[in-house]
With several copies, the nearest count.
Chain A
Amino acid sequence: MKDVRGTVCNNTKVADDTFLLSLDCDLPDSRPGQFVMVKVACGYEPFLRRPFAILSNHKQTLEILYKVKGRGTQLLAEKRPGDILSILGPLGNGFSVPEEKRQVVYVAGGTGLPPVLSLAEDLKQGVLIFGAQSKDQIPLMSRISSLPGVELKVATEDGSYGFMGLATDLLDELTGNARGPVSIYACGPKGMLLATSECARRTGSRCELSLEEFMSCGFGVCSGCVVETIHGNKRVCRDGPVFDAQDILF
């Protein structure tokens, strides 16, 4: 973990309310599933940093894909090339590497895309299921489609693109038809993670979930972000954000 200065290179809208931010910064090497805490303002408004998954971190360039939710992300969306941000990271544990011969399935919902996409870009294999409400909410389509070794399946709730329904419907189908053992990596809304975890249990798949909790520090000192697991309270920011699905007490 380091506190580095990042210079905005690009901050472009890539879907409804969704932006791809790329920064020139000297963040130490990271693994898919790790995240950074970004200071979006110099003053005290907002007071705390905001957590974002590392979409990519190569050759001094850090990519973050984010959706505007409140004032913090609104301020981020107003950043222009040349602006400087303070970035704390890499933080958290990241995904584990799948055992050989396992079929890999990524499940992402909404703003849960970045960590699993980061893993898919790293592993260059498997099926990436992305669930969104509608077509306008799907970012980076061409980037994902052109990923070597990775197959993209999209589910939209309103049916405006791909399969009409939930990402987990596609997951059920996929795991149902799978011939060997499956490793699932998921990030998204709570309901989706719960269903994913159920599916994994049913099908005996390995399953890692990247969780989100509101964070104040992001590096493990405040115990503000705990989640209940079978091993007791765990800090999402430090002991996670990636957890074995079996450990989580939903």
Chain B
Amino acid sequence: MNTSVKIAEGLILKNPVLSASGTFAYGEEFSEIFDLSLLGGIVTKGLSLKPKKGNPSPRVFETTGGMINAIGLENIGVDAFVIEKLPFLGQFNAPVIVNFFGNEEEEYELVAARLDVDGISALEMNVSCPNVKKGGIEFGKDPNTLLSLVSRVRRATSKTLFVKLSPMVKDIREMAIAAQEAGADAITCANTIPAMAIDETTQRPVLGNITGGLSGPAIKPVALKLVWDVHQCVHIPIVASGGINTYHDVIQFLLAGASAVEVGSASLRDPLCFIDIIEGTKAYLKEHSIQSVTELVGKLII
């Protein structure tokens, strides 16, 4: 039985189960509880050029079947990551996929260039960030903006490049096509859904940042649809993100067209869920006499 999937020439995952950005920090804490070499890949917290302080507290709130976060992309910055965190991640036998973002095209480019170092297998661009030069509209909202941004980043790095899309767009397909056209090697589909919580006793927003992003099982049906849509229109691999909690979810996302999945919020509640998910996936393959994970990708029977 073969659980490995090839995402790009330089990137073969031993299994399709990755961590997700922002729910795995830089790997250190999780390494205390399981061997990170078991993972298909390690996706790290989103990095910016300079360290970022993030949003005021409260930053997280639980909702029905999920949670809203408004961390505000707090991170140690790309330099500190390369110097302080990357060597640690090098110990494990799992590709390191570094999530990053910027506030303008140039910052994306600079961060990507700075991450073109050994020990990193791929970059994941978070395009759900406001473009400060364009009045704060997210890069991931318009296909032309995205095409231009991804093209610049593509030229700035030799690494395998994932583009992580925003879910809340007019048509995710045109975004995926733009990313592919600009040279992305894979599409991560998708980020959290914009959301909000209000405490009616105080009559105030719950989160320090007022709004945040919804994740967890609540959004799984939405993410599944997005992956299915993207699968209809691109030929590069899709990495699914959104509400993956069990191996059932993994199989469903593979069938919808994903080649791999990222597990985010689920690992906040259950740090060992990765192991259950990987084992469950293997057991499913065995039970259904499927030789290779890749046989399932996009094979939804209509």
Interface residues of A (CB under 8 A from B): 1-3, 39, 44-49, 86, 88, 213-217, 219-227, 232-233, 238
Contact = CB atoms under 8 A, between A and B. Distances in A.
Most buried by B among A39, A221, A233, A238: A221
A216 B67 contact: yes
Given A44-B216, A224-B71, A232-B53, A219 B58 contact: no
A44 B59 contact: no
A233 B53 contact: yes
A223 B58 contact: no
Across the A-B interface, give the 4 residue pairs with the lowest CB-CB distance, nearest first: A224-B60, A217-B268, A221-B25, A216-B60
Contacts of A222: 22-23, 25, 60, 69, 71, 268
A217 B23 contact: yes
Contact of B33 (A1, A215, A233): A1
Interface in B238-293: 245, 265, 267-272
B32 interface: yes
Given A223-B54, A223-B74, A48 B65 contact: no
Contact of B269 (A49, A214, A220, A233): A49
Most buried by A among B69, B217, B265, B269: B269
25 contacts: A1-B33, A2-B33, A3-B270, A44-B64, A44-B217, A45-B64, A46-B62, A47-B62, A48-B62, A48-B67, A216-B62, A216-B69, A217-B23, A217-B271, A219-B29, A220-B25, A220-B29, A221-B23, A221-B268, A225-B59, A226-B54, A226-B59, A227-B57, A232-B53, A233-B74
Nearest to A3: B272
Task: Determine chain A's interface SS by DSSP, over half rule.
Answer: loop
B120 to A, nearest CB: 20
A2 B29 CA distance: 11
B61 interface: yes
A39 B269 contact: yes
B88 interface: no
Interface string B10-37: 0000000000001111000110110000
Nearest to A43: B64
A215 B57 CA distance: 11
Interface residues of B, number: 35
B249 to A, nearest CB: 12
Interface of B: 22-25, 29-30, 32-33, 45, 53-54, 57-67, 69, 71, 74, 216-217, 245, 265, 267-272
A2 B271 CA distance: 10
Contacts of B268: 48, 216-217, 221-222
Contacts of A221: 23-25, 29-30, 267-268
Nearest to B70: A224
Contacts of B53: 232-233
Contacts of A39: 269-270
A86 B270 CA distance: 9
Given A47-B216, A49-B269, A216-B67, A226 B62 contact: no
